[in-house]
Amino acid sequence: MTDPNDPDLPTFADVEDAAERLRGRAVMTPLLESPLLNERIGGRVLVKAETLQRTGSFKFRGAYNRISRLSPAERKRGVVAYSSGNHAQGVAAAARLVGALAVIVMPADAPRIKIDGTRALGAEVVLYDRGREVREAVGERIAKERGLTMVPPYDDPRVIAGQGTAGLELAAQAEAADAELDAVLSPCGGGGLIAGCALALSQRSPDTAVYAVEPEDFDDTTRSLAAGERREVRPGAYSFCDALLSPTPGKLTFAINRRLLAGGLVVSDDEVARAMRAAFLHLKLVLEPGGATALAALLAGGYDGRGKTVAVIASGGNVDPQTFAAALERAAGHDPSS
């Protein structure tokens, strides 16, 4: 459990409250199962398809839970956020629903589909150079200059609680499917999704082990869990999992994750590409690289699913067509179902 004496940390009750607020706004995404994936793993695999959420990722959940609670004056002034794309679209969609202006700070090299999607939702996009500028500093400057409310991508109690509603749904759907979950694997960047889901599962499925899954070289949460304190990404790190390139775990998210997670798993870009192909072939899902890391860990054996029931969260599907096609081609020679 999280520390009840720390007022900044969300609780299970906050996740339940977020679920009520999101009722009728967020999509209750399906929990999918494929006999061929089950056979391939030697166990039972359940996939929480957050790719089918509003804006194509889980991020709408936390964004709406935060933005819908703004005061009338805050709504009138508007919000600002920084994001490589999924949080950007979640914030833009949530702000649009409540009638607030949204300004989004995005890296100039973000996938075009994410930049275009954010603008299509009515947000003002401010591009920055991630090699020379710090997105937090750009966002804070805009917030100060224009009087906007900052909506962080993960290190915010309301955002974390909102993301946790995915875990709340997952637990209920697994129970309805007569599935006793041995483990849940979730993609992890700053840690908001997995922290919220861990809060939910700690109460709804307490015997389930929860694992963070990260790309190679962006395994800051995995290394932080091992060290017992937050660690940063190594200089020069690269991955095509653009949604998971946070430089260090969040302060709030790590405070939750260090208590509730069973550990961290790491996958290569090649393993992610194979998972994208498997999801497309067996589940008819389009996953972006970052959204496929949890499935990648299971398929590559990072977590041994033989004889077990494992749920994986497919966290997002906002991928440029060219990147998706290249990933499927890259994996074609390695997929046993090809």
Spatial distance between the Cα atoms of 282 and 74, rounded to a whole number of angstroms: 45
Q: Which of 34, 48, 57, 59 is catalytic?
A: 59
- Residue 88: phi and psi, rounded to 5, are -55, -50
Spatial distance between the Cα atoms of 30 and 140, rounded to a whole number of angstroms: 37
Write out the H or E segment, with its range, that includes residue 16: helix 12-22
Spatial distance between the Cα atoms of 114 and 111, rounded to a whole number of angstroms: 5
> Token pair of 240, please?
């095509």
> Token pair of 115, please?
């930049």
Spatial distance between the Cα atoms of 26 and 81, rounded to a whole number of angstroms: 20
Spatial distance between the Cα atoms of 99 and 102, rounded to a whole number of angstroms: 9
What lies within 8 Å, CB to CB, of 172 at 6+ separation is: 204
Tell me how crowded residue 210 is: count the other CB atoms within 10 A of its CB.
Answer: 25
User: Quick one: 133 exposed, middle or buried, by C-beta within 10 A (0-12, 13-18, 19+)?
Assistant: middle
* Three-class SS state of 261: coil
Q: Residues 321, 328: contact at Cβ < 8 Å? A: no
CA angle 250–228–84, rounded 5-degree value: 25
Question: Tokens 């209920």 correspond to what residue?
Answer: 172
> Token pair of 2, please?
């999280």
Q: Is 268 a catalytic residue?
A: no
Q: Is 59 a catalytic residue?
A: yes
Nearest to 249 by CA among 268, 269, 227: 227
What is the set of active-site residues?
59, 315
